[in-house]
């Protein structure tokens, strides 16, 4: 999936909530981390963790990991050479870290399709490192019409390529988080100013920036990094896009977050508190 790896747009969000409600028996998209399929397309690539990808401890940051997920999806499409006019936005991503990747570590990435909907597809990515890193991820990508920006039915060529590894599994685009409001018990708030460098080719703040916000919350409430150094599961849902207008107007957005034991939740709100743009949840794993 490639060309416009941005947050989901407002029309996408409202329309998918309707679709999801009409098909309750389908699995939730980007929730389960399924193993590599026994047959069908699996794309593989390698990369090295660079200086700009890590925090002060040398750990691969979540926003950098999200860029890796974008890049390997694009590389898969480029390798096929069949889907260059398509546009995709992210609806939901899960990153599960069992062992962190670190500076200069060589990573092997494998990616494959694990589910399809009418206008979206689920992509798994597995990352394994030369010195022990193990990170698994799954993303629900929404297929858009490049001209209108509206959700578009998956093309037959796409289905022909990815239906075998998906093995007939159908997934919904429903979202699972409840936004955290400023009045929530134990909640704290800080401001977030979107930057021009956060925008991508769809004129929206790129999905990797959501993970930068999660990293910022971590830095504020978890200075000892206890929840991020060990195994954890992190989820981000993209509800309403943050657009160029917010950047040009230098709008101050609001991040509401709270921690409850080994779980951290956060929501990015619009300047007037009317719109939840992004929700996130991080849970420690044993």
Residue 261 sits in a domain whose CATH number is 3.10.129.10
Task: With beta carbons less than 8 A apart as the criterion, state whether 59 and 100 touch.
Answer: yes
Kindly state the average pLDDT of the residues 31-49.
Answer: 98
How many percent of the chain have pLDDT more than 90? 75
Residue 203: the pLDDT is 87
pLDDT level of residue 121 (50, 70, 90 thresholds)? very high
Domain that holds residue 69: 6-172
Report if residue 213 sits inside a domain: yes
Report the predicted TM-score, pTM, of the whole model to 2 decimal places. Answer: 0.91
Please indicate, yes or no, whether residues 55 and 140 belong to a single structural domain of this protein: yes
Residue 148: the pLDDT is 85
Kindly state the average pLDDT of the residues 255-283.
Answer: 95
Between 7-16, 156-165, 243-252, the lowest mean confidence (pLDDT) is in 7-16
Q: Is 257 a residue whose pLDDT tops 70?
A: yes
Residue 11: the pLDDT is 39
Residue 25: the pLDDT is 75
- Give the residue among 91, 40, 56 at the shortest CA–CA distance from 241: 91
Q: How many domains does the structure of the chain reveal?
A: 2
- 278, HSE (Cβ side, Cα atoms, 13 Å): 30
Please indicate, yes or no, whether residues 156 and 86 belong to a single structural domain of this protein: yes
pLDDT level of residue 20 (50, 70, 90 thresholds)? very low
Please indicate, yes or no, whether residues 29 and 159 belong to a single structural domain of this protein: yes
Report if residue 250 sits inside a domain: yes
pLDDT level of residue 17 (50, 70, 90 thresholds)? very low
Report if residue 180 sits inside a domain: no
> Residue 84 and residue 119: Cα distance in Å, rounded?
17
Cβ neighbours of residue 14 closer than 8 Å, sequence gap 6 or more: none
Please indicate, yes or no, whether residues 150 and 237 belong to a single structural domain of this protein: no
Please indicate, yes or no, whether residues 33 and 128 belong to a single structural domain of this protein: yes
Please indicate, yes or no, whether residues 164 and 196 belong to a single structural domain of this protein: no
User: Higher pLDDT residue, 227 or 31?
Assistant: 31
Q: What is the pLDDT of residues 90-113, one digit of tens each?
A: 999 999 999 999 999 999 999 999
Please indicate, yes or no, whether residues 238 and 104 belong to a single structural domain of this protein: no
Report if residue 178 sits inside a domain: no
Please indicate, yes or no, whether residues 205 and 275 belong to a single structural domain of this protein: yes
Classify burial at 22, counting beta carbons within 10 Å of its beta carbon; exposed 0-12, middle 13-18, buried 19 or more: exposed
Of 112, 147, 172, the domain-final residue: 172
Of 172, 201, 233, the domain-final residue: 172
């Amino acid at each position: 999936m490639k060309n416009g790896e941005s947050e989901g747009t407002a029309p996408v969000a409202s329309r998918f909530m309707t679709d999801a409600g009409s098909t309750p028996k389908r699995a939730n998209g980007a929730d389960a981390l399924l193993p590599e399929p026994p047959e069908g397309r699996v794309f593989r690539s390698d990369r090295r963790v660079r200086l700009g990808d890590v925090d002060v401890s040398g750990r691969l940051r979540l926003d950098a990991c999200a860029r890796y997920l974008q890049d390997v999806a694009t590389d898969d499409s480029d390798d096929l050479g069949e889907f260059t006019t398509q546009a995709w936005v992210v609806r939901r991503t899960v990153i599960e870290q069992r062992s962190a990747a670190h500076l200069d570590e060589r990573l092997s990435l494998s990616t494959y399709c694990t589910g399809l909907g009418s206008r979206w597809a689920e992509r798994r990515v597995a990352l394994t490192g030369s010195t022990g890193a193990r990170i698994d991820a799954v993303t629900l990508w929404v297929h858009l019409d490049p001209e209108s920006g509206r959700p578009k039915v998956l093309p037959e060529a796409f289905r022909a390529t990815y239906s075998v590894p998906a093995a007939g599994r159908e997934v919904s685009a429903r979202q699972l988080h409840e936004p955290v409001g400023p009045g929530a018990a134990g909640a704290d708030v800080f401001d977030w100013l979107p930057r021009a460098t956060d925008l991508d080719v769809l004129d929206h703040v790129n999905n990797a920036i959501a993970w930068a916000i999660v990293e910022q919350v971590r830095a504020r409430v978890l200075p000892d990094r206890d929840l991020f150094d060990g195994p954890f599961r992190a989820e981000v849902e993209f509800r309403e896009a943050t657009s160029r207008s917010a950047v040009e107007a230098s709008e101050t957005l609001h991040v509401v977050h709270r921690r409850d034991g080994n779980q951290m939740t956060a929501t990015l709100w619009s300047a007037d508190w009317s719109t939840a743009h992004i929700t996130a949840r991080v849970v420690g794993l044993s």
